[in-house]
Structures are given as C-alpha cells and as structure tokens.
C-alpha cells in the first residue's frame, strides 16, 4: 500500500517530472514537487494534486548549482512529510557543447545538475529510504551509451549517472533499491536545444517503432520500479526507446 508513502521528484514542475508526480499521486503517494525556477508551474501542479487529496503534495525549491542545497532539500521533505520512500532524480540540464565551445562554465552546469546533485541527493536520502525499504530511480538517457553529436558533455554526464546507479545499487543494498529509466525520443527538446522538423523526421526513421514515446510511459516505468512487483530488481536500467538502441547494434 502507498497510502502514507512519500515520493520526491526533482524537476517535477513540468514535462516528464510532472507526469511522474501525477501518476505517483494517482497511486496513493504523497508527493514532493521540486522545482528550480518554474515556481508558477510547480504551484499549479501542487494545487491540482491537493484538490484531489488534501495535503498530499508540497513544492520545494532548490538550486542544484548550489550543491549544499541537496541536503537541505531532503531535510525539508522529511520535515514536511515525516518520511521519504522514493527519490526520483529527474532534474537535468540538456544543451549542446560543440567542440570548441566547451568551457568550465557549461561543464560545471551540466555535471552539477546531472551527476553531482543526484549523487548527493541519494547520499542524503539513504537513511530515510533505508528505514522504509525505499527506492531510487534515476532518469538516464539512451545517450549514456550512444554518441549524440555536439552533446559530448551531456552524454558523459548521463554515462556517469548510469555508473552511479549501478554502484549505489550495490552500496545501498539490501535496504534500498536503485534503478534507472533511460528514455529515447519522448518529448522533443525545447529552447536552445530545440529540434527542426527535418531532424525529427530523420530521428523517427531510426526508431523501429517509428514513433516517439510519452511522458506517461516513462512515469509508468518509474512507478513499476518502485513497486512491490519490482522488489527483486536493483542496479538495472530500463530503456524506453522504441527499439532505438537495438537498431543501433
């Protein structure tokens, strides 16, 4: 039963993070909605969840470029809810770093968000998670194992988080399970990493199922890995990619 269980989802104000928070709430979790800058979207999501079940969701602001805020975020969630059962490391930085434009600032930005913060959040959360036979799910990327041109720093950061997922599964056992979900083409990037229509069509041709996945499918995979049905699964990464990695050989 998940009636009293608590899940913290980082980067939960929109897109995949919001889908995870919504499905977790449907399944009975109380939800910590972390955001960095999207305060309005986070507040709207929390209001939606609390309208369905009073006092079941709270938003928390933390800036992961300030790594000492990782411990503070975990402490705030536990202070609010009294426990923590699941940590979903979803917050991520994604932008191109072409050769010749890589510098210490963009490396720091990517690795703090995609590697250092998830690791520090896991470290901070393990005592509470251990008390409840909890779980961690890290949102990875199929590009942890594939080349994405002009995104070497991003790919390297996700590869690092993939190894952290495996190593933490060993270190945190048997009390806490640690797994990953690696999306392929789910939601097209926005902003500085937006994709042209021609590039979208070319990408779909590389996917055996010839379609993108959905944020709701990622959420379902995350919730499965947190469930009793997955109680014998740890240190694994589930790829939701329409066959993209299989086709790549």
Looking at the annotation, which residues are catalytic? 154
Distance CA 49, CA 58 (A): 9
The CA-based dihedral angle spanning residues 73, 79, 162, 189, taken in that order and rounded to the nearest 10 degrees:
-50
Q: Which strand ranges, in their side-by-side order, compose the sheet holding 86-89?
A: 57-61, 30-35, 6-9, 86-89, 135-139, 177-183, 237-240
């Amino acid at each position: 039963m998940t009636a009293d269980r608590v899940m913290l989802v980082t980067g939960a104000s929109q897109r995949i993070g919001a889908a995870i928070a919504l499905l977790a709430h449907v399944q009975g979790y109380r939800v910590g909605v972390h955001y960095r800058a999207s305060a309005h979207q986070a507040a709207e999501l929390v209001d939606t969840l609390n309208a369905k079940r009073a006092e079941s969701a709270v938003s928390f602001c933390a800036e992961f470029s300030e790594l000492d805020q990782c411990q503070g975020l975990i402490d705030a969630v536990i202070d609010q809810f009294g426990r923590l059962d699941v940590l979903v490391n979803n917050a991520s930085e994604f932008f191109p770093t072409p050769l010749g434009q890589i510098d210490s600032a963009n490396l720091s930005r990517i690795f703090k968000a995609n590697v250092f913060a998830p690791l520090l959040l896991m470290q901070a959360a393990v005592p509470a998670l251990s008390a409840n036979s909890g779980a961690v799910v890290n949102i990875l990327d199929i590009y942890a194992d594939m080349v994405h041109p002009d995104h070497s720093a991003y790919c390297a950061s996700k590869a690092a988080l993939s190894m952290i997922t495996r190593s933490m599964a060993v270190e945190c056992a048997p009390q806490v399970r640690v797994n990953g979900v690696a999306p392929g083409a789910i939601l097209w990037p926005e902003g500085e990493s937006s994709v042209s229509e021609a590039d979208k069509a070319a990408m779909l041709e590389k996917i055996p199922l010839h379609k993108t996945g959905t944020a709701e499918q990622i959420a379902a995979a995350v919730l499965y890995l947190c469930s009793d049905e997955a109680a014998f699964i740890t240190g694994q990464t589930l790829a939701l990619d329409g066959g993209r990695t299989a086709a790549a050989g």
